[in-house]
Amino acid sequence: MNTNSQNLPSIAKSIALADPSHDLSGYLRLIRSLPLLSAEEEMELARRYHEHQDLRAAEQLVLFNLRHVVPIVRSYKGYGLPEADLLQEGSIGLMKAVKRFDIGAGVRLMTFASHWIRAEINEYILKNWRMVKIATTKAQRKLFFKLRSHKDSLDAINHTQALRIAHELGVKPEEVLAMDARLSLPDVSVATPTDNDEEDQPQLTLFDSRYIPEDIAIEAEEEQLTYSRVHEALATLSEREQAIVEARLLREDKATLAELAEQFGVSLERVRQIESAALKKLKTHLSVLVA
């Protein structure tokens, strides 16, 4: 490495304090001032982190690969969000990738990390688009992320293509056309040099099929929505109903009817009746929320 390791703490502090939203150019210059890691250096850092919990090694893995987040972020230009915000989200994805990196997989970190970086950015984009009521159903969220891969070209979709994609993704043709209009800007390859700096090309030529960023984002969004709906539905129950439902269904060490009957001073049959009535209320409330 060209940068003296003694300078890394100050460089790390500078990057941590840097705010891309205030000085994007300065932030980019800072991360490009760091050297590129060789495969051997990268593997040694990963080994030190995973085998010896060396946090300095993990920090270096993140720092020396921040530049590779930039071209991935710029492939999301068509979503209308600030580049600085996407850089911050992508950096979080890189940190998660370093934590999960399998040193025995035989691939470079960025081949693995690109999927986690994109997953973090996808989730951020989806949350922001939901604020303006776009991609509000699971099918529309799937359309949101998968439309580009189902298109025949970067050109606008015609009616025939819209019918085919709508059938493949389970949405209406007009939804396909509307989403295509919103995402009309072309993709940018992650192997495209940024600012004429060829060293910024991560050259991601391998695909890790274990992690599909779009699916990760969709599943995370569905899980969060489900949690929010259940939490809201539980709030409609009385305190006793909530306690019984949580004890019977939501705890790992589920309570028996006999235990609850003793706790509330009622019969087993009464506990069963309360549980049944509470579940009917939840089902009714959740059906309204999902509709």
Distances (CA, A) of 102 to 106, 109, 217: 8, 9, 21
- Segment 81-96 shows an average pLDDT of 89
For residue 41, give the nearest of 108, 140, 129, 86 by alpha carbon: 108
The arithmetic mean of pLDDT across residues 109-131, rounded, is: 79
Flag the least confident range among 8-17, 61-70, 282-291.
8-17
Q: What is the pLDDT of residue 161?
A: 84
Report the C-alpha gap between 171 and 94 in whole angstroms: 33
Q: What is the pLDDT of residue 49?
A: 93
- Structure confidence at residue 148 as a pLDDT band (50, 70, 90): low
pLDDT at residue 137, rounded to an integer: 61
Is the confidence at residue 236, as pLDDT, over 80? yes
State which of 26-35, 104-113, 262-271 shows the largest mean pLDDT.
Answer: 262-271
Which residues lie below 8 Å from residue 52, measured CB to CB, with a gap of 6+? none
Q: Give me the pLDDT at residue 27, please.
A: 85
- Residue 83 clears pLDDT 80, i.e. is over it: yes
Output the six-digit token pair for 58: 């993990």
In this structure, what DSSP letter does residue 35 have?
P
Question: What pLDDT is stored for residue 190 in this prediction?
Answer: 41
Question: Which domains occur in the chain, in start order?
Answer: 1-130 (1.20.120.1810), 235-290 (1.10.10.10)
The pLDDT-based confidence of 66 (bands split at 50, 70, 90) is: very high
Q: pLDDT tens digit string along 161-184?
A: 888 888 888 888 888 887 777 665
